[in-house]
Chain A
Amino acid sequence: MSKEAVFMQGNQAMAEAAIRGGCKMFFGYPITPSSEVPEYYARVMVERPEENITYIQAETECSAFNMIAGAAAAGHRSMTATAGPGFSLGQEAMSYMSAAGLPGVVVQIMRPGPADGEILPAQGDYFQITRGGGHGDYYTLALAPWSIQELVEIMQESFVLAEKYNNPVVVVSDAMLAKLRESVVLPDYTDNEAAPEEKHNTLTGAKGRKRHLITTCGFGAVQWNQFNNDLQKKYAEIAANEKRYESYFMDEDPDIVVVAFGAYSRVCLSGVKMAREAGLKVGMIRPISLWPFPDNAFEGLDGKQFLVCELNAGQMVQDVKLSVKNKDDVHFFGMLGGIVPTPKEICAEIQKVEVK
């Protein structure tokens, strides 16, 4: 780690971390609030030729996502960054990559939908990100950092995870984390990538070895049933290994547990601290992996009241309800349209929760 903290924007710090993490290919289509990422790659391609960057502005996100699939098939790290509308367009490729076992990283920088919507912070794409946003039975590992420091670390790790599981990984950001500037210690260059021919499933020419084919075409129900069962083993392995969360004040036996993710969870934690100063026994759980959802964080918490705070109409709240015994103990506070409640407003919501 280079020690000195720099003052950097979330999108730009993330792009630099990806480059240092060995991702030399970026395919994308500009969309607010993601556009600084392609801009950064384009700039580095010109100003730092030694990085050997390939940057392509695709004609649409459909193409950009398919280019990632192509780069993965050729054994190279690549990524795109987009917002909800672009993420929707990329879902065909995501479904394909997951089925074909192709790694690749997509940064989803959420803004308020549906449709064109707004360019402000939101978390309304939680379902699409965590349920496999395209067709078929599949999932993508989704990690949601809350600070730029965590973002740059997750950004680099996501390439390793994608290659470990041969599956796309979604880094979940939003307009708040993307545009935020704060101190960050940039991670060093990594050296953890295998050569293309040593990676799983890559097409590097069949000279001297057996012909290899990447396909997602079924040859009848029996064969396709088996193919899907094998895929499910992959998702089960990810679910077993990658549940991640952090908890705050949970060792003090709180009556109320706030649950929140992403940059918004920092606002929520400040609200939790205010409520604690006002004498309430409150803790917080912050899921970092949105899929797999860290249901293990809720073990042994029966009888507590849960307040799920999200910038949407109530999406992660469903996963929380699946993780606790008594669904009536789960409450929800949501905000739509791009409005971000202040810590004071979160504190007021916590105070409304009736402790049983």
Chain B
Amino acid sequence: MKLELLFSGIGGQGVMLLGETLCAAAIRAGKKVTFSPFYGQEKRGGRTMCNIVVSDEMESPIISEAKVMLFMDERSLQDYEYMMAEDGVMILNSDTIDIEPTVKCAKVDRVPIYTMAQELGNAKTMNMVALGYVLKYLPEIDYNLVIEEVEKAFARKAKLIPLNVKAVETGYAAAQKAE
């Protein structure tokens, strides 16, 4: 099997941590995983994007097209939508994206990721909400392993673990309810 993913947003939204956590869980599921981050020189506010490849053999860490894409803002969508696979799924943060994708794909999910995070009491958890949602399209990656990796990712700030686990649960539950 080979799964190619692309996540993108604005620096500070946690797209990198989302990707890294997902990869750590996929490795524990026995897969070969590469995570290639792309970001500018800015600490916050710049573009962030990552290519993720989950496969059985070693592959190129740079992808040609993505089966699952997640966009947190309009600029990211405009920049990277051309890499969408025609049979793939695009997940858009509907709180900040009003425009329509201009490329063909099998499905577009509009998810109020920011609102959901805010309702949890902390907008910064939007990356974890998104992580939970994305899992809907990655049945190869076990939900419980992801939760364990989220706990590890926040090990140095242990008091944030329950909130972030809750955020993953929220995103995951929303995805199960969605069509």
Contacts and interface: CB of A to CB of B under 8 A. Distances in A.
Contact of B60 (A5, A32, A179, A270): A270
A266 interface: yes
Contact of B58 (A120, A147, A271, A342): A147
Give the bracket for the number of chain A residues in contact with chain B. 20 to 34
A340 interface: yes
16 contacts: A7-B23, A7-B35, A32-B41, A176-B61, A179-B37, A180-B34, A180-B35, A181-B35, A182-B32, A182-B33, A266-B58, A267-B62, A268-B60, A342-B62, A343-B63, A343-B64
Given A7-B33, A119-B41, A176-B36, A181 B20 contact: yes
B145 interface: no
Contacts of A119: 41
Given A181-B23, A344-B65, 10 more contacts: A7-B33, A176-B36, A179-B37, A181-B34, A181-B37, A183-B27, A266-B60, A270-B64, A341-B62, A342-B63
Contacts of B24: 7
B59 interface: yes
Contacts of B59: 266, 270
Given A266-B60, A344-B64, A344-B65, A179 B36 contact: yes
B60 A180 contact: no
B60 A182 contact: no
A343 B34 contact: no
A155 interface: no
Interface residues of B, number: 21
Ordered nearest first, which 3 A-B pairs have the shortest CB separation? A270-B60, A344-B64, A181-B35
Interface string B60-88: 11111100000000000000000100000
Interface in A232-284: 263, 266-271, 274
Given A7-B27, A181-B20, A181-B23, A340 B34 contact: no
Contact of B35 (A32, A182, A271): A182
Interface of A: 5, 7, 32, 119-120, 147, 176, 179-183, 263, 266-271, 274, 340-345
Contacts of A263: 61
A267 B33 contact: no
Contacts of B65: 342, 344
B170 to A, nearest CB: 25
Contacts of A266: 58-61
Contacts of A343: 60, 62-64
A5 B60 CA distance: 19
A5 B58 contact: no
Nearest to A119: B41
A341 B61 CA distance: 11
Given A5-B27, A7-B33, A176-B36, A182 B62 contact: no
A292 B35 CA distance: 31
